[in-house]
Amino acid sequence: MTKVEAVIQNSKLDAVKTALQEIGVEGMTVLEVRGHGRQKGHTEVYRGREYSVDLIPKTKLEMVLPDALVEKAVQAILGAARTGKIGDGKIFLSRVDEAIRIRNDERGEGAL
């Protein structure tokens, strides 16, 4: 099992969600986050005051997937979230040792 974390542009959430549903990803967690990578933010001047937007609002998706689905999911996210510009976001993959469904103690991929 692999945990997929993807930080994407807010405007791409619907497209990414649809793409993931199409390949059979059933559940995910969506978080409202702020941060920056190489897209360092910018400064907006409003009424003479500077508002620096150093942490840019982004959307983060988290899901734990059976290994067979991971590459497909990565491709789906890449396809739906990419604009080719700085600020498109990143995908992180990490190993997950165990998944447990609280309701019935089911374990492993069956619990996903």
Residues in contact with other proteins by CB under 8 A are: 9-11, 13-14, 32-34, 42, 44-48, 51, 53, 56-57, 87
Of 78, 99, 82, 86, which Cα lies nearest the Cα of 3?
A: 99
DSSP-assigned states of every residue in 7-44: EE-GGGHHHHHHHHHHTT----EEEEEEE-SSS--EEE
Q: Which is nearer to other proteins, 11 or 75 (CB)?
A: 11
Rounded to a whole number of angstroms, the minimum distance from the CB of residue 66 to other proteins is: 28
Rounded to a whole number of angstroms, the minimum distance from the CB of residue 57 to other proteins is: 5
Rounded to a whole number of angstroms, the minimum distance from the CB of residue 65 to other proteins is: 25
Q: Which is nearer to other proteins, 21 or 52 (CB)?
A: 52
Of 54, 60, 66, 56, which Cα lies nearest the Cα of 91?
A: 60
Rounded to a whole number of angstroms, the minimum distance from the CB of residue 56 to other proteins is: 7
Q: Contact at 8 Å (CB) between 79 and 16? A: no
